[in-house]
A and B are shown apart, each in its own frame.
Chain A
Amino acid sequence: MTVSDHPRGGFWSDTGRSGLGSWIFSTDHKRIGLLYLFATFGFFLVGVVLGLLLKFELMTPGRTIMGAEAYNAVFTVHGVTMIFLFILPGFPGAFGNLVMPIQVGARDVAFPRLNLLSWWLYMGGALIVLTSLFTGNGPPDTGWTFYVPFSARTGTNVSLAVFGVFIIGFSAILTGLNFITTIHRLRAEGMTWGRLTLFTWSLYATAWVQILATPILAITLVLIMAERMLGTGLFDPGRGGDPLMYQHLFWIYSHPAVYIMILPAMGAISDIIPVFSRKPVFGYKMIAFSSIAIAAAGSLVWGHHMFTSGMSDRAVLVFSFLTFIVAIPSAIKVFNWVSTLYKGSISLEAPMLFALSFIILFSIGGLTGLILGAAATDVHVHDTQFVVGHFHYVMFGGTGFAFFAAMHYWLPKFFGRRYREKPAVIAWALMFIGFNILYFTMKVLGMKGMPRRYYDYLPEFATLNLVSTIGSWILAVGLVIMLVNLIRGLLRGEPFEGNPWGGATLEWSIPTPPPTENFAREPVVTHGPYDFTAMKE
């Protein structure tokens, strides 16, 4: 991280300390944010490579490059990496840390040392997960859901991987309680709840889910380890246990966890769209409220992952009904974003392009979610490629594209240099096209009946699978261009100064890159986060 020829200024150099130690032992929320960014994005790239391998295997029927066992291991590791190492910690860890304390007008988070501990726990957990791949009897092959009874019996290295995820859960809990305390206690003078940015609101909702849902995952993982190592038999039907209780516990966490993934993304989009529309956000209160509503309603609907598991019919009806409730706050957000665009002075720069494609892809993902949430149609497409297509639209098309938008929007602020616009737009176009080819064909394949999690398929699915694989290559090319452009730009590009996009939130009012404690004097906030007229005066 040493920058020799061009001193960056701000928090990069004003502590007078440099070298690796000044980063990995720093309690500065910006340094920790960047550490999270590098780590989570690194794991994202690992996950991408594994995903490309999966698609390569599915290019032709029969064995292409790997057999059934290897395919099981690769999709498990792809899922575990993407979910636990990238998408769950990614947004709160990287952009939550970088931006949120500045947006509320604080010098740092409420518990800076705890924040550093969170990162260390995350890295420790990630290393344990990685170790589990290369030790014992081979990488876990259970799928990221670790379903019993298979996970209790398989000889692969499930215990260690589960332990790593447990540690990462601890890290998420600490981040969550840190953010809630920060938002409650460290808001600057004049920063009322009604003046918080929507990104901060979404992180607040996210943090609550992290706190209230993650412990359930923790106990579930402990029980898996006990099942394997002590033979407790709590989920073993042969000894009176009930595998469905495992599924309940797992999804009590893992469904709300979906909202840990998507809520901060929605928040970032809510911050970006008004700036590039030069118009105050439409329905501020409703967007803020809908973040809380999504977190609350999202905690009631876990059973829709279990419609075909043998759960009671009454529970299926209840969960199916509750699932539709989540659609309401989600739709509130989409309508408000579109209304913000209406009659705005839209400037189509890279962050905005990613943000706009987020709206489209998330809408497609969300609407296909309703097909899965309705019990009757779910039975038809359950455990097919349709499901895989659906959640990639939400997770990758939603959170992933929002993550890219946030990278293009906020990173120049912290690096003091900017990327080139044209390659960014080309990369965006390639990724958007490749993404839709890759995942839309998956949905079609699922409707036609191709199941998920098999390395092989019937010959009639061959053409569409080939198309899907080609889509994955286009997406990968776009990703590489984006990455090269970002790295080159942020390290050696044109200087990025001031407030070129005219954002009205607090992070745009301080020097670029921000100094270590952000504000020379504690700011006094006099206008809302999207009040562009007040800013001009």
Chain B
Amino acid sequence: MNKTDHSPPSSADKLLQRLLAPHLLETILGDLHEDFAYNVKRLGEKRARLLYWRQALGFVKPRYIRRNRSQYPSTPLIVPGMLINYFKIAFRNLLRHKLYGFINVGGLGLSLFCALLIGFWVRDELSYDRFHRDPERIYRIVKDFVTIDGSRTPDATTPSALGAALQKDIPEIESVTRIFPGWNQKFLIRQPDAQFYEEGVYRVDDSFFDVFTFPFVAGNKQSAFPSPKSVVLTETMARKYFGPENPVGKRLNLRIDGGDFIVTGVLKDVPGNSHFHFDFLIPLRRADTSPDMNPDTDWASYTFYTYAKLKPNTSTDAFTAKLRSLVRKYQPENRNIFYVQALTDIHLNSKLKWELGQNSDNSYVRILSFIGLFILVIAGINYVNLATARSSQRAREVGVRKAAGAFRRSLMVQFLGESMVVSILAAVLAIGALALSLPYFSDVLEKELTVWNRPGLQNCLVALAIAAVTGLLAGLYPALFLSSFQPAQVLKSQKIPGARLSWLRQGLVTFQFWASVLLMIGSIVVTRQINFLKTAPLGFDKEQIITLPNIGGLKNLDALRGELLGLKDVVKVGASSGVFGESNQANGMAKKGADQAVVINFMVVDNDFLQTLDVRVKQGRLFSAGFPSDSTASLLINETAARQLDLHQPLGTVVDTDLMGDYRTVVGVVKDFHFTSLHNSIKPFAFVVGSQNLSNLFIKVRGNDMKASLAEIERKWKELVPQRPFTYFFLDENFAALHRSDELFQRVVSGLTIMALCISGLGLFALASFTTERRTKEIGVRKVMGASVGGIVLLLLGDFLKLVLIAVVIACPVAWYIMNYWLQNFAYKIDMEWWFFALAGALSVMIAFSTVCLQSIKAALMNPVKSLRSE
């Protein structure tokens, strides 16, 4: 019988050999084999094998697996003396390879810095309105404004009666408060030594502090509004009007409701991450409420904001249903569709008409998070690439250490630790730089960011953790690979692996450039689009126009106008109820006799306003003093309004301007113009003449000396309106402010893109210099064999350019898709042109070329004798 025919299952043996304690293994295996031989004779091979498995698996028990304690003491993993040595070697390595150290620490630090900054910003954006108690239970009640024909305009305002009705009828509500903002009303506050216009005056319900949490510095929420003449103000305002002394109990003249208010409390300033900001709070209820102006029963004035705090575990769907049936109960005729928004969603997701302040956008958060991630990954790749590429240089060190008695495990500890020390050093530098520069960035980003609070410190800790993980990952390869070297082989042979680009490194470099190209195309598109927004013709003239915003109710407006026109620099003066670029009033309007109404923004103007702003007429005429009936019976509309009102022959058509019988005749159609930012398409717009609601005076000036013109205007103002302070703004600047967040976004994206490019360029530079160095001998041999300098440069360049080109090709379609998606945010947008992609591609090739080229040429020019002599 041939013995080899009957051998026990070798996989079972392998399993046992792997698991069992060495000092037991031999006897156990021997016994098993002997038993197997016996069983083969008795039962046949098949059953014997089965039995063997059963017997073998019986030994898979802790009793047999536990290793015998060695009688010799083992070397501990970390020995203090060796630790010092590790640090010494790590430090020497950094010093010896300064470029490498600089790029590793600098690149990683820079990227962590950017990522941290983005992290701070994103975290702040996400933290909006979360400082209130139980923010998840607070909701804002809003509506879609619906006209007869069913067109809907999402709108944040609600009638004042809604709040009262909710409190009365819906048991799920814990508390509800209404806010009546100033609606641009300016309150002239005069204290003996100070006189300012204030806009941040909100009228609120007594329950305001039950819904929202704004901590008091002085006073408390119970005693906030004891009488209708109470006022609560913020710390800043308290300092502004009362200096360092405690203002509680003092008088403050707001010049409304007939006189003095008593200060009842001082609040901490409204945090930056609140979606609304106020300086003064006064109660909604007035002392002299007339029955026809009772806010608790008024369903017609959509000038209030309603916030409700629901009881715990209330479903918003059920609440919305109740809300709608409540509105139906009180206002059967009301077509508006009411719904709720979670308080914490407002800042990032709400884009309604009449928001309380400018909101941000979720897409900014997402895009910036992605960019941050990209930058981190790019730097992480640098780190891993350099660490792995350079690791082969240390093969000899590994050989010596092993020969001197190092265990594999202690080498792993050394390499992992070294890599983590460097990455954590980078993180510490990044955090330090951030802590120093954050005040500057807070200004640029218009946020209050600081390292020295809880979220700030948490961010820093996360950055440290990210750095540690990067270090760990980067250290893993050398730790596992280098520590596996056989000392004899490494010490003897000249050939050390890692000189060529491994597939891993090639893939990582390609990814790096892919991300950079993506960012580059992205920032080109963003820059072009924002430029387009800023420079696109609006259809009216906003240059050289000084706006005086506080002429509301001025008795001698005509005199002021006349005097201003007399100045030599003033070309034209016009007044209106609103300002282009800000929210406008809107009404449902319909052609007389038609039942289809359209929501139309409108403005009350005087006869000269349209000429002052150079709004062009398309059909008919502008308003004119020559037609006295203009002030009661005429209407100007824009082309879009004419189209939407379905007016084929607009001139002479009679339009019901408020759906309540205010009929006016269309006397002219003006060309479409952008009265708001280019995010939105042009909406219908109308002008009527009036003298009641004029609140802004527009002065068109000529000449270049704006300062002198302003001084002249101010002098006239002081003469004629001594009781009001002189305030002004430039219309073009006001309009540019609409694009401020876009512009900020563009600057941030471009800045970060440049960072990303620098970091990936640095990485490529170091990698190229390293691989070139490793190949000096090869180059020497090639030269000896007759290779030309150009050929060698091409050979070295080719390796990298190939990768960059692949990256460009993959990045272009992705970038096209993403940026197309982003451009959908805008009603008016640029076309994506081929040169965006070409430019990005060319730039990345150029970066790759310039980083690699220098070293390639240097290597190619070297005398082969030098590189080969040492052999």
Q: Say whether A and B bind each other.
A: no
Give B residues with C-beta under 8 Å from A: none
